[in-house]
Amino acid sequence: DTGVSQDPRHKITKRGQNVTFRCDPISEHNRLYWYRQTLGQGPEFLTYFQNEAQLEKSRLLSDRFSAERPKGSFSTLEIQRTEQGDSAMYLCASRPGTGGETQYFGPGTRLLVL
Amino acid sequence: GEDVEQSLFLSVREGDSSVINCTYTDSSSTYLYWYKQEPGAGLQLLTYIFSNMDMKQDQRLTVLLNKKDKHLSLRIADTQTGDSAIYFCAESIGTNAGKSTFGDGTTLTVKP
């Protein structure tokens, strides 16, 4: 299966710890997106990359959040000094470049901050 | 600004048709999507419609778009218990569409 993959699928951490999630997009998709989904709500946009360039960041993405896509392939999302409010499902999606109207989502990483 | 609204719950009997509704506010939406999410899983794209279309049919799924009223609907014919899930409406803006804005989802329950 060459879909979008995310690792880990689940993460439990204590408040104040740092966590890092990884997303591997579909090969040759040059756009990559991060979303956050809390219980009972739809996904909310966090940030996206075109190749290695981070083109947009939501105001939801506080200073404690950082995302990278150093080689234009996989991406990492790091949360520093986690808070209980960071508990959510973090979804990654990818799409082809110009002309690709469909985003393909990964299975998500579920984060629980105790 | 961007806002997508959906009703929260829908319950139907197996074999009936389900209609899930969505309204959006941004008139420059280019693509409108329907996703399905089962418990603990990611989002599965069901279908999408380009903003210059009124209707799209794909097997049991029919999407209707009323651009004037900014209203989108998803009809599922012959609803099955396996269709029970949360359905999200989403929009993307621009011809080189980037991020999507999602509604909060409609939980569809199909009773046998």
pLDDT tens, residue by residue, B30-43: 889 999 999 888 89
**Each residue of B10-37: pLDDT tens digit?**
999 999 999 999 999 887 778 899 999 9
> Which of A42, A45, A106 is closest, CB to CB, to B99?
A45
Using an 8 Å CB-CB cutoff, list residues of chain B that contact chain A: 4, 31, 35, 40-45, 48, 50, 88, 90, 92, 96-105
- The first and second tokens of residue B99, run together, are 């991020």
Give the per-residue pLDDT at B66.
94
| CA of A1 vs chain B CAs: smallest distance (Å) | 15
Residue B1, pLDDT above cutoff 50? no
Percent of chain B with pLDDT over 90: 73
Residue B80: partners with Cβ closer than 8 Å, 6 or more residues away: B14, B110
Q: What is the mean pLDDT of residues B87-109?
A: 86
Task: Write the residue in B99, B103, B104 that is nearest to A33 by C-beta.
Answer: B99
CB atoms within 10 A of CB B17: 12
B27 close to B93: Cβ distance less than 8 angstroms: no
Do the bridges between strand A44-50 and strand B61-66 make them parallel or antiparallel, or are there none, so unpaired? Answer: unpaired
Which of B24-28, B68-72, B93-97 has the highest mean predicted lDDT (pLDDT)? B68-72
Contacts of B101 in chain A (CB under 8 A): 45
All residues at 6 or more sequence positions from B54 whose CB lies less than 8 Å from its CB, including other chains: B64, B65, B66, B67
DSSP state of A81: S
The whole-number pLDDT of residue A78 equals 97
Residue B110 pLDDT more than 90? yes
Spatial separation of the C-alpha atoms in residues A52 and B65, rounded to whole Å: 35
Q: Provide the token pair at B60.
A: 């049991």
Q: Does the pLDDT at position B97 exceed 70?
A: no
User: What's the average pLDDT block by block, 10 residues per block, for chain A (114 residues)?
Assistant: 89 98 93 93 93 90 93 95 96 80 90 97
Cα dihedral across residues A31, A39, A6, A4: positive or negative: negative
Contact A32, A48 (CB under 8 A): yes
pLDDT at B80: 96
Type and span of the H or E element at B61: strand B61-66
